[in-house]
Amino acid sequence: MLGRRGTLKFLAGPPLVWLALFFLLPLFLIAAFSFRAGSGAIGPSDPWAPSVEQYQEVLGTPAFMRLLGVSVLVAVGVAGFATLLAYPVAYFLTFRAGSHASLYLTLLLVPFAVSYLLRVMAWKLMLGPEGGINSLLGSLGLTEEPIGLLLYSRPAVIITLVYVWIPFAALPIYAAMQRIDRNHLEAAADLGAGPWARFWRVTVPLSLPGALATFFMVFIPTVGEYVTPSLVGGTDGIMYGNIIQGFFTRSANWPMGSAMAMIMLGLTLTLVVVALRVVDLRRVAA
């Protein structure tokens, strides 16, 4: 039978091997591509000499750097709103839904089994100038002109992303809330704390790790997001990920696309590490 050490090897081993083989290795190939000169989609077997010209080009183009900064800000906004709005949902599932929690959770996730493309097409039907929402507002006399910013704009991207993320964002918070020992709340009540006090001083602190996990879970992939901006972002909603995609697909310039991706990876990782340090410091101080 396996001892503790053996169990560890068995638990940590397979994920490590799988991730190393099918994640680190491909990523390494991309990193290698980013250090190539030239702009073609060069075959992997073509000879190459290391060069930083791709990085120079990317870092030296103000438009790209500005867009990266904007994308980070958008990601922070989306993550913030998604976490904020997902929190009550998670709370509802934990403390109100009772035995139906699993069902309610499933109901939240199930729409995602329907093709995103089709759902967005349906959404556009509602959001467009001749669409349902504008027709409704118009017929109620609330607006004279169709509202442009609901579609093909940066706000449209943020709204859509938040909307899409909320069910997934609720999950880590829900998981963290579930583990809150009811006895803590009992004790607080016994000591005279009212409902709001119990919430702020027991529930929130104990579920904070889950909320933080959610924030990062949403923030990290959103920096490089490109699908939603291409569907609803229009000209103004373009994000850094669209340019990466552009270099890979529109321009056949894999080295450039790889360099842009590596830069974004580096920045995101740095931001996350810094943020985690800050958070840890605060918790230690508290």
Partner 1 sequence: MTPQAARLGRRGSLGVGRTRVPLGPFYGAMLALLYLPIAILFVFSFNAGTALSFPIEGLTLDWYGEVLANGAMLDAARNSLVVGVGSATLATALGSMVAVAVLRFRFRGRSLLLALAGLPLIVPFVVMGVAFFLLFVAVDVPRSLFTVGIGHSIIAVPYATLIVLARLSGLDPALEDAAMDLGATYPSTLRRVVLPLMGQTLLSAWLTCFIVSFDEIALAIFLVGGDPTFPVFLYGQLRFAQRLPVLIAMAVLLMVGTVALTLIAMRLRQARWAERSPYRL
Partner 2 sequence: MRVPVARHHTAFVLLASLALILAACGSSAQSSGPTATTAASEASESEPASAAAEPNELLVLDWSGYEADDFWTDFKAANPDTEVAFEFGDTDANILALMQGGSQADIFHFYTGWQQFYVDEGLVQEIDTSKLANWDKVPDRYQELGQIDGKQYFVPWDWGFTSILYNTEQVDEVTSWDALFNEEYAGHVSMWNDGPGAVAVSSYVNGWDETALTEDQLAQIEADWIAQKSLNAFYWSGEYTDLCPAVQDGTVWVAYAWQGCYATALAAGDPVAYANPEEGRNSWVGLYGISSDTDSYELALEFLDLKLAELSCGNAVTLFYYGCANGDVMAAIEDPVLIEAFGINDPSILESTNFTPLVTEEQREAWTGMWERVQAE
Restricting to residues 48-87, which ones interact with partner 2 according to CB under 8 A? Answer: 61, 63-64, 66-67
- Give least dist CB 64 to partner 2, A: 5
The Cα-based distances of 6 to 3, 14, 19, 255 in angstroms read 5, 13, 20, 43
The full DSSP string for 90-128 is: HHIIIIISGGGHHHHHHHHHGGGGS-HHHHHHHHHHHHS
| Paired tokens of 157 | 């991207």
Subset of 106-165 contacting partner 2 (CB under 8 A):
117, 121, 124, 128-131, 148, 151-152
Angle at 73 between CA 254 and CA 212, to 5 degrees: 105
Residue 160 binds: one of partner 1, partner 2, none (C-beta under 5 to 8 A by kind):
none
Check binding of 126 to partner 1 (CB under 8 A). Answer: yes
Report which of 165, 179, 231 is spatially closest to residue 210, judged by C-alpha positions.
179
Cβ atoms of 231 and 153 within 8 Å: the answer is no
- Binding-residue pattern over the window 46 to 85 for partner 1, x denoting contact by CB under 8 A: ---------------------------------------x
Subset of 207-246 contacting partner 2 (CB under 8 A):
230, 233-235, 238, 242-243, 246
Q: Which is nearer to partner 2, 219 or 247 (CB)?
A: 247
Residue 24 binds: one of partner 2, partner 1, none (C-beta under 5 to 8 A by kind):
partner 1
Q: Which is nearer to partner 2, 155 or 234 (CB)?
A: 234
- Give least dist CB 200 to partner 2, A: 37
Q: How many residues form the binding site for partner 2 (CB under 8 A)?
A: 40
- Give least dist CB 31 to partner 2, A: 16
Subset of 212-251 contacting partner 1 (CB under 8 A):
213, 217, 220-221, 223-227, 241, 244-245, 248-249
266-282 exposure pattern, b = at least 16 Cβ within 10 A, e = fewer: ebbeebeeeeeeeeeee
Cβ atoms of 142 and 148 within 8 Å: the answer is no
Cβ atoms of 228 and 160 within 8 Å: the answer is yes
- Give least dist CB 216 to partner 1, A: 8
The full DSSP string for 272-285 is: HHHHHHHHHHHHHH
Q: What is the rounded distance in angstroms from the CA atom of residue 112 to the CA atom of residue 227? A: 15
Check binding of 43 to partner 2 (CB under 8 A). Answer: yes
Tell whether the torsion through CA atoms of 97, 100, 105 and 108 is positive or negative: negative
Residue 215 binds: one of partner 2, partner 1, none (C-beta under 5 to 8 A by kind):
none
Number of helical (H) and strand (E) elements in the chain, helices listed first: 14, 0
Residue 230 binds: one of partner 1, partner 2, none (C-beta under 5 to 8 A by kind):
partner 2
- Give least dist CB 241 to partner 1, A: 5
Q: Measure the CA dihedral 72/216/80/195, to 10°.
A: -170
- Give least dist CB 284 to partner 1, A: 17
Contacts with partner 2, residue ranges (CB under 8 A) = 14, 39-45, 61, 63-64, 66-67, 117, 121, 124, 128-131, 148, 151-152, 230, 233-235, 238, 242-243, 246-254, 256
